[in-house]
């Protein structure tokens, strides 16, 4: 599933459209449109110019230039979605659902499973309404607000980190990586975290996201926990202890029993 580092990569792909005019919009599969029909979606965007793409958590936001009520496209990528920049001569992929055509190429929303999709908002107010339930972006939040939001819930720390209403952007892989780096058990209650724990967690989150965003994904290097997720006998890259695979909040969870004490 795309997480914050992947989605930041999609935002960078979408930078191809900044200050470019939409020549046409091809809706290949209207099932990915949320709350708007194909014709209304096309009519709202054709001949518009896109402004600089933005990201909040796992969402990419594409504003169009113009008045305050100019349309925005809000893209969520579910488990299998992506943005792809293609030349006009590149054949459509079978999972290309919506194609925005420009003089310089095409921005394609590609998604195999179609679990989420594209929303159309009329102006900043509608954008704010669509994103109202999201917490602050994980890459932008400060240490004090991070600690306050995380400890206002009485759940396990992994479940809290993955709750998009608490913090926007972290998914299963990022949460496992972060907790391993901070040496915190995934089931530990947020109310049991000390000030040092919370400071360390925030510090490790910033460092992890910085490196992952630079790579365009959560790296699967040998020094990262993520690099051992698919091994038949995974070992901790820090202490070589056999890693545990359990389920936390219904999600497959990888952790080290030596480094991450309950």
Sorted by where each begins, the domain ranges of the chain are: 4-130, 143-255
8 A C-beta contact, residue 167 and residue 135: yes
Report the CATH superfamily, name and number, of domain 4-130. MutM-like, N-terminal (3.20.190.10)
Which residues sit opposite 119 in a β-bridge? 34, 74
Instruction: Give residue 254's pLDDT.
Output: 97
Q: For the chain, what's the residue count?
A: 262
Q: Is the pTM of this model over 0.85?
A: yes
Closest CA to 81 of 45, 112, 120, 42: 112
Q: Class of 143-255 per CATH?
A: mainly alpha
Catalogue the active-site residues: 2-3, 58, 251
pLDDT tens for the chain, 262 residues: list them. 899 999 999 999 999 999 999 999 999 999 999 999 999 999 999 999 999 999 999 999 999 998 888 999 999 999 999 999 999 999 999 999 999 999 999 999 999 999 999 999 999 999 999 999 999 999 999 999 999 999 998 899 999 999 999 999 999 999 999 999 999 999 999 999 999 999 999 999 999 999 999 999 999 999 999 999 999 999 999 999 999 999 988 889 999 999 998 7
161: Cα separation from own chain's centroid = 13
**In the chain, what is the greatest distance between 2 CA atoms, to the nearest angstrom?**
58
The Cα 49–Cα 51 span in angstroms is 7
CA-to-CA separations, 165 to 122, 130, 189, in angstroms, rounded? 23, 13, 18
The Cα 225–Cα 223 span in angstroms is 7
């Amino acid at each position: 599933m795309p997480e914050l580092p992947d989605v930041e990569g999609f935002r960078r792909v979408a930078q191809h459209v900044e200050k470019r005019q939409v020549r046409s919009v091809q809706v290949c599969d209207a099932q990915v449109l949320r709350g708007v029909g194909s014709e209304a979606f096309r009519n709202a965007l054709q001949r518009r110019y896109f402004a600089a793409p933005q990201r909040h958590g796992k969402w990419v936001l594409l504003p169009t230039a113009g008045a305050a009520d100019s349309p925005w496209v809000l893209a969520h990528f579910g488990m299998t979605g992506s943005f792809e920049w293609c030349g006009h001569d590149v054949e459509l992929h079978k999972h290309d659902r919506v194609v925005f055509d420009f003089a310089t190429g095409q921005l394609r929303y590609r998604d195999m499973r179609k679990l989420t999709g594209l929303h159309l908002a009329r102006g900043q107010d509608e954008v704010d309404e669509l994103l109202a339930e999201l917490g602050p972006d994980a890459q932008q939040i400060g240490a004090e607000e991070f600690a306050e939001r995380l400890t206002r819930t009485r759940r396990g720390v992994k479940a809290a980190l993955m709750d998009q209403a608490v913090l926007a952007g972290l998914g299963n892989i990022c949460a496992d990586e972060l907790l391993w780096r901070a040496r915190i058990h995934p089931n530990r209650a947020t109310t049991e975290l000390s000030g040092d724990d919370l400071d360390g967690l925030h510090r490790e989150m910033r460092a992890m996201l910085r490196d992952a965003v630079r790579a365009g994904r959560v790296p699967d290097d040998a020094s990262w926990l993520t690099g051992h997720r698919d091994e038949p006998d995974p070992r901790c890259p820090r202490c070589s202890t056999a890693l545990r695979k359990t389920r936390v909040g219904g999600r497959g969870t990888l952790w080290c029993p030596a480094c991450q004490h309950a």
